[in-house]
Amino acid sequence: MQVLCLKYGFQTVFGFTDSIFVRHLPMVSSSISTDKTELNVNQYLDDCHNELGVRIDHKNRFMYTIIFDKKNCYIAWTGNYADRPILRNSNGMSRRYPKWIKKQIEKIAIYLIAKPA
């Protein structure tokens, strides 16, 4: 999958058991339009299925991410202010912690990932 990523201008950033995070590598010669990037994503998914026998669903495209590799968790945001950041398996977010702790961790995480530049 990593070799196929490079073919389409993507870099493998991280992978969990059921997820892969890739980053678009900027082309030196020209800027790539969103349409071209979307086409590359679709072609990559087709190649993974046809060449490797692996089906991948493209669920999200994030502009900003923080990945905690040892804990199998991440915080990610699309960059659209209408969308809330996604917090997956963040420490302190499990049911064993009180709601007030979860709320505070969520506020901090959202601030870190979506604060104005």
Clarify whether residues 43 and 85 are in a common domain: no
- How many separate domains does the chain show? 2
73-77 vs 64-68, strand pairing mode: antiparallel
Q: Does residue 58 form part of some domain?
A: no
**Domain of 8, in residue numbers:** 2-52
- Is the residue at 19 inside a domain? yes
Q: Are residues 48 and 69 in the same domain?
A: no
In tens, the pLDDT along 73-112 reads: 788 888 888 888 888 776 656 677 788 887 888 888 788 8
- Is residue 6 domain-resident? yes
Residues 107, 75 within the same domain: yes
Q: pLDDT by residue (tens digit) across 12-61?
A: 888 777 778 888 765 544 455 555 677 788 888 999 899 989 888 888 88
**End residue of a domain, out of 32, 52, 72:** 52
Note whether 43 and 71 are same-domain residues. Answer: no
Q: Which residue in this structure is represented by tokens 């991410």?
A: 65
Place of tokens 């046809």: 50
88 and 108 housed in the same domain: yes
- Report which of residues 6 and 90 the model is more confident about: 6
pLDDT at residue 70 in the model: 65
pLDDT at 50: 92
Any domain includes 59: no
Please say whether the dihedral angle defined by the alpha carbons of residues 24, 25, 27 and 30, taken in this order, is positive or negative. positive
Same-domain check for residues 70 and 47: no
Domain membership of residue 8 (yes or no) is: yes
